[in-house]
Amino acid sequence: MSGPAVDIGSGSAAIVTFTAPSVTADASLVFRLTVIDGRGGSATDEVNVIVDVNSPPTVNAGPDRFVPSGSSVTLSGSGSDPDSDPITFFWSQIDGPSVNLAATDTPTLQFVAPTVSQDIYLAFRLRVSDSKSAQATDDVLVKVTKKKDKLVMPASLNGVDPMVDNSFIGVAVLNNSSQADTLQIAAVNSAGSEQLVKSSVFQPQAQDAFLADAVTPDSPDAVSLTAHADNSAVRGFFMIGRGQPNQLDGVGGKPVSGTELFFPFAQLDRNGKTFYFLTNTDAISPARLSFYLMDPSGTQIKTASLHLPPGASHLGSLPSLLAVDLLSNGHYLRMTSDVPVQGVQLIANSQSYTSAGAQAVAPAQKLWIPHYIVGREGEDTELRLINPRPEHVQATFTIHSDQGLVRGSGTVTVPGQGLKLVRLSEILGIAAIPAEERFLTGYVVVDVNSSASVSGTLLGTATFTGTRGKTASTLPMWREPLVETLYLQVAQSMAEALFTGLTVMNPNSGPATVTVRAWTRNGQPSGEKTVSLQPGQRLVDLLNGSTWFGPGFEQVGGHLKVSSNVPVVSFVVFGDSAGEFLAAVEGQPSED
């Protein structure tokens, strides 16, 4: 009789059906039923059908994900209905190798990613239906990646301790391959759950650099960032700083994973507080960590434990980890775990940050420190030697000039599972500095003395202190010279008052031919220099010095590669001309 027209067929039956029309506002449909008895009698009645507007539900299947081969995956979806109608959920897999899905009628979906030797894609669809049969769907793509090492770095230091609040974390990632690749950056929370926050294509030998907080504005619960590429092993480097910066240090070496790690510092006094960043590198199994605080004599004085979910990281201070109130510089931390773990430590005080990666036990009969400094204004170098074995070990250190001449030597005994500190200023003495010089520099070789019954091995670091103790930076001692070494950051700029110094030392009995190359952030060659080093000789200069690329070299960003016909020892140091910060950075092998 009235309202939008609908099809009711012939209308000659007592019951008719029709499809309610689509309307943008509530509509009234009036129908009249007439009954005739065949003798001229009839009766009529009318019915009013109200067609109201039903808004469909909304649905979100969550962000696209990438997950490691064989890992447990949880997809978190959501849905709602603008009319407050009851809704139901249904998950289905729409592409990729079939996986077993747990409950499919809840907002979340759980499954185990297949074990793959090549990257694959899985696609899933979440459907939300309301009580009036309206539906909405959304799809999510999951990339399952073959297992490759991931770079892991802290996402933020804020909230851990006032000592490190307002710090920044700068990240540089290098594509060291000959092919373009896609870089994936994910934010990871304390439970090990990842969220993709950055994806970009970078060219061969190109660098992608960013601040951690720039990629995590939508991930306030992020504890760590991970970086990996689709087709190659990426190389990474990160720096932790605060101020302009006047507190800064970097971690540039290849991360060490192990079930037993040693952290050379465990300090809590007016000169510094130690922080630890720990990562469970296993994507499937939780890590059960045990910590042992060791004093210089090798005595265990405190223990603690920590549980890390698969793929998760933890950032905490020494007092939060071990409940200690005061601890001198002469301690270290040993850690064991039932699955491989990575770790980095940061020592912070009001003037400087100094960082060091954890070390694992490996045979080492000789250690190299490619640089030292002893000066008139507090410049110094402290060697830390850790003996991971129960037997006492003797070590002989020989201090050389740049030309390889011996300036001094000494022998120390490192107790079983103990620590020995050696300050080079106490060995050489300030009087050894020539009157016309401000300081002495050179390199140190440490020989680990073994016997017929004991095969000695030591772990070591060198900490450089700048003028009046204002700056400090720590490097692990070299265990093995390399034919090719990468340094993942360059900062040489007169305009910005930044410098990069490069040291190369020849530890061999014959000459070495060394080529140093630089690339810009975009992967373009920017400098090359070949030099010859005699046995025991060391070359050290700024990148814009005559030894390397010359006064015209200006570059912030990019990387260096040191190549040689024989294995050599090298290292890089960053700083500013005003002496506000100093960051010594170890290199890493060019090839895995």
pLDDT exceeds 60 at position 256: yes
Q: What is the mean pLDDT of residues 405-412?
A: 92
Length of the chain as a residue count: 592
pLDDT exceeds 80 at position 522: yes
Residue 117 buriedness (CB in 10 A; 0-12 / 13-18 / 19+): exposed
DSSP sequence for 536-576 = T-EEEEETTSTTTT-TT--EES-EEEEEEEEEEEEEEEEEE
pLDDT at 387: 94
Residue 431 buriedness (CB in 10 A; 0-12 / 13-18 / 19+): exposed
C-alpha to C-alpha distance for 177 and 188, rounded to whole angstroms: 26
Cβ proximity of 322 and 345 under 8 Å = no
Please report which helix (H) or strand (E) contains residue 427, including its range.
helix 424-428
pLDDT at 252: 84
Higher pLDDT, 110 or 145: 110
**Res. 518 pLDDT band, cuts 50 70 90:** very high
**Res. 132 pLDDT band, cuts 50 70 90:** confident
* Token pair belonging to 586: 């170890």
C-alpha to C-alpha distance for 136 and 587, rounded to whole angstroms: 53
Among 456-470, 478-492, 525-539, where is mean pLDDT lowest?
456-470
Q: What is the mean pLDDT of residues 283-299?
A: 93
180-201, pLDDT tens digit by residue?
A: 888 999 999 999 999 999 999 9
Among 398-407, 433-442, 443-452, where is mean pLDDT lowest?
443-452
pLDDT at 26: 77
pLDDT at 147: 63
Residues contacting residue 431 through CB under 8 Å, at least 6 positions apart: none
Q: Could you tell me which CATH number the domain at 481-592 has?
A: 2.60.290.11
Among 297-306, 322-331, 507-516, where is mean pLDDT lowest?
322-331
C-alpha to C-alpha distance for 244 and 297, rounded to whole angstroms: 40
pLDDT at 584: 86
Q: For tokens 């620590």, name the residue.
A: 419
pLDDT at 179: 86
Higher pLDDT, 453 or 479: 479
* Token pair belonging to 161: 């301790």
Q: Could you tell me which CATH number the domain at 151-357 has?
A: 2.60.290.11
70-111, pLDDT tens digit by residue?
A: 778 889 999 999 888 899 999 999 999 999 998 899 999 999
pLDDT at 269: 81
Q: State the DSSP code for 112.
A: E
Q: What average pLDDT does the chain have?
A: 90
Q: State the DSSP code for 318.
A: H
Cβ proximity of 184 and 230 under 8 Å = yes
Residue 305 buriedness (CB in 10 A; 0-12 / 13-18 / 19+): exposed
pLDDT at 284: 81
pLDDT exceeds 90 at position 455: no
pLDDT at 102: 85
pLDDT at 590: 83
351-384, pLDDT tens digit by residue?
A: 888 899 999 998 778 999 999 999 998 899 999 9
Q: What is the mean pLDDT of residues 453-477?
A: 82
Percentage of the chain lying above the pLDDT 90 cut: 61
pLDDT at 1: 67
Of 404, 413, 440, nearest in space to 424 by CA: 440
**Res. 555 pLDDT band, cuts 50 70 90:** very high
Which residues does residue 384 pair with via DSSP β-bridges, in sequence order?
421, 461
For 469, the 3-state DSSP assignment is helix
pLDDT exceeds 70 at position 592: no
**139-148, 268-277, 565-574: range with highest mean pLDDT:** 565-574
pLDDT exceeds 90 at position 139: yes
For 212, the 3-state DSSP assignment is helix
Which residues does residue 332 pair with via DSSP β-bridges, in sequence order?
294
Output the furthest CA–CA distance in the chain (Å, rounded). Answer: 136
Residues contacting residue 191 through CB under 8 Å, at least 6 positions apart: 309, 312
Give the torsion sign (CA, 119, 121, 122, 124). Answer: positive
Q: What residue ranges do the domains of the chain occupy?
A: 1-53, 58-145, 151-357, 481-592
pLDDT at 255: 86
Q: What is the mean pLDDT of residues 433-439?
A: 89
Q: Do domains 58-145 and 481-592 have the same CATH topology?
A: no
pLDDT at 243: 80
Q: What is the mean pLDDT of residues 579-586?
A: 83
Q: Is the whole-model pTM more than 0.85? A: no
C-alpha to C-alpha distance for 498 and 500, rounded to whole angstroms: 7
C-alpha to C-alpha distance for 248 and 578, rounded to whole angstroms: 14
Cβ proximity of 186 and 226 under 8 Å = yes
pLDDT exceeds 60 at position 453: no
Residues contacting residue 171 through CB under 8 Å, at least 6 positions apart: 153, 209, 210, 211, 212, 225, 227, 236, 237, 238
For 307, the 3-state DSSP assignment is strand
pLDDT at 259: 94
Please report which helix (H) or strand (E) contains residue 583, including its range.
strand 582-585
Beta-strand pair 135-145/65-68: parallel
* Planar angle of CA 557, 562, 568, nearest 5 degrees: 145
C-alpha to C-alpha distance for 408 and 398, rounded to whole angstroms: 6
72-to-112, 150, 218 alpha-carbon distances in Å: 4, 17, 23
Q: What is the mean pLDDT of residues 145-173?
A: 88
Which residues does residue 87 pair with via DSSP β-bridges, in sequence order?
130
Please report which helix (H) or strand (E) contains residue 320, including its range.
helix 318-322
Q: What is the mean pLDDT of residues 55-83?
A: 88
Q: Could you tell me which CATH number the domain at 58-145 has?
A: 2.60.40.10
Q: How far is CA 332 from the centre of its chain?
A: 23
